[in-house]
Amino acid sequence: MRRQLFALTFVALPLAAALSATFDDNAQPPRAAGSAGIEIDALDRKIDPCTDFYQFACGGWIARHPVPADKRSYGRFAELQDRNFAVLRRILEAPGGEGDRKKAADFYAACMDEPAIEAAGLTPIASDLATIDEILNPDDLPVLVAHLHAYGVPALFRFAAQTDLDDATSAIASVDQDGIGLPDRDDYVKTDARSVELRVKYVAVIQKMFALAGEPPERAAADANAVLSIETALAEAMADRVTRRDPVSRQHHMTINELQALSPSFNWRKYAIASDAPPLPTINVAVPAYIRALNRLIAVNTMGDLQAYLRWHVLHEAADLLPKAFADAEFDFFSRTLAGQQQPPPRWRRCVTDTDARMGEALGQAFVEETFSPKAKADTLEMVQGIKNAMRQEIDAAPWMSGETKKAAMVKLAAVVDRIGYPDEWRDYSTLRVTRDEALGNRERALLFNHTRMLAKIGQPVDRGEWNMTPPTVNAYYSPDRNNINFPAGILQPPFYRSGRDAAVNYGAAGAVIGHELTHGFDDQGRKYDGQGNLRDWWTPADAKAYEARASCVADQYSGYTVDADTHVNGRLTLGENTADNGGLRLALLAYLAGPGARNQSKVDGFTPEQRVFLGWAQVWCESARPEAERLKAATNPHASNKYRVNGPVSNMPEFARAFSCKANTPMVRANACRVW
């Protein structure tokens, strides 16, 4: 998951859900017949599972679920997120809330008040735009950029708190690359026809937004081209996504004097003071080359061009809560052009999404009470322990690891902390001001609230109890700097988990998600952290070399896959997730066979237990997706296309070939199978 299992873009998720539905052990959503929990109607029995297991498991579901007009893609994650957000909508619209829950309801109500948003026009950002126009020289930039960062505008760079990876018990400041509007730095540097056309359309939407904000046509056109020029210079200096996957490449501790020497055109002390940051004895500068390029950019660009760049990012970040003309222009490029989405989601869905993103823990308790039973938590913990036991056996049996490295791996595994459902302590929003008549003002104050919380962490002990996802989120993650695995209540619902369902399907779905996150601790990135979260090499040179050879096999395998006919999956960008998919599914199968599967080997719905584990995994990935969305995912997302998240792992597993009696020359049986874990 960011280490994330599914790169969840909230605004792209589907929005059609029964508003009265609740989903606990006593009230589950309907499913097709089949006592195993396998969705029989999802199958495509015309396909041999040994030829294309994804199509066999999901073909029927895909045929019945074309991508709706207001979606980029639609799959089982989105289907569940719909149901979760329907619960949140009911909570937010129910009368009589109090405290933080009432605050969240007011946040939502203000977002829903479209007439008030239209009437306000540009007033909510007028002072920011005026301040940008008033700056006279680069000496004014640090204070202005600090202000914009506090309100969520990612101008020029990112300043944040991060775990000190040399001492994972404490937090330090971090400066990192940021500040471009297109999805990826490669969008600015590639010269193919599609990329050139994309940049032309990007300039057009910037120009349109400037014109809507009152700029004359000639100035709007010139300013839009200035924005592209500045962002191109930033992008050319950025480390690419594959390079950034190596955490060592992002570790460059400096003093503020050293940072200032790296970029003398920008006054970093003035920025730190304006940010209200604590003392900064150490700063991690993730990409020094980027900061040097930022220095050159500030030195050579006119203030007029820099002002245009800053105005664009203020408009871009606020567009969805500005009058409809701005929101429509933003949607037309960033959703329709980039991802093929034909219509915006319904207003309520956008507002639930924003409320969850900004005040998710204010709703968390109510959501958990409705959707997540103690039985679900107990079952999940039982699966976690079984999967950890399977991982111990995998490490112990690995023929390519020395005893020394195995011992260190066991120490790390024993230190993994399991977090299920929701935080032990809920966030307090009592200092956040929310009103029912200021949609953008509420968001900005919520961003400032969270920004202030984040900066206050600098120089303090790391809070290992904090969650990075809200309880309703359909996702999970592993945190390498804290060595914990995290499963929000939102994902522990059907089709991932159902109380009383055949254990084989629960292990194939939820269990493989658990195994996926656990494997992240030992993927090509996670293996570089020790059990306390420090960036430390605990591998012998020979074992590290053997690991890299196995990982390269996985990278090469996935680089051979394509989407939309000619766009290749980036096997290096997706290596961590692919390693986790392969390892997680194998661990889930082993844990099932050592646990519930040892007591029950009967067929259900015509499928053996092993077959049901594999089908449980495959059917959580059923998805229909637009070609534009698949291309965008291949370029920017560390996860492979859902088809290959199913077919890739099973084609590496002799257990799958045995379960479905696949012959050696069939597509789901790789001649040179890859295996890390």
Residue 212 per-residue DSSP state = H
Q: Which two tokens stand for residue 666?
A: 């069939």
Q: Where are the beta strands (DSSP E) in 516-651?
A: 562-563, 567-568, 623-625
What values do phi and psi take at 99, rounded to 5?
Answer: 60, -140
Burial class (CB in 10 A: 0-12, 13-18, 19+), 137: exposed
- Which residue in the list 70, 100, 379, 517 is annotated as catalytic? 517
d(CA 121, CA 587): 54
d(CA 343, CA 350): 12
Sign of CA dihedral 113, 119, 121, 125: negative
Measured over all CA atoms, what is the biggest interatomic distance in the chain, rounded to whole angstroms? 77
Examine the residue annotation and report whether 581 is marked as an active-site residue of this protein: yes
Q: What are phi and psi of 76, to 5 degrees?
A: -70, -35
Q: Which of 581, 610, 623, 628 is catalytic?
A: 581
Q: 75 in helix, strand or coil? A: strand
- CA atoms of 389 and 376, how far apart (whole Å): 20
CA distances from 39 to 349, 523, 622 (A): 27, 31, 11
Is 517 known to be catalytic? yes
Q: What angle separates helix 324-331 from helix 303-318, to the nearest 10 degrees?
A: 100
Residue 460: count of CB within 10 angstroms of its CB:
12
Query: Could you tell me the CA-to-CA distances from 248 to 135, 166, 228, 243, 370 in Å, in that order?
Result: 38, 11, 31, 10, 43
Angstrom distances, CA of residue 461 to CA of 164, 234, 280, 436, 457: 10, 33, 15, 36, 7
In contact, 613 and 56? CB cutoff 8 Å: no
What is d(CA 507, CA 525) in angstroms, rounded to the nearest whole number? Answer: 25
Query: Per-residue b/e over 205-235, b at no fewer than 16 CB within 10 Å?
Result: bbbbbbbbbebeeeebbbbbebbbbbbbbbb
CA-CA distances (angstroms) from residue 569 to 13, 117, 187, 339? 22, 41, 16, 17
Helix then strand then coil, in percent of the chain rounded to 5, is 55, 10, 35
Give yes or no for a contact between 106 and 436, defined as CB atoms under 8 angstroms apart. Answer: yes
- Three-state SS sequence of 130-170: HHHHHCCCHHHHHHHHHHHHHCCCCCCEEEEEEECCCCCCE
Write out the catalytic residue numbers. 517, 581
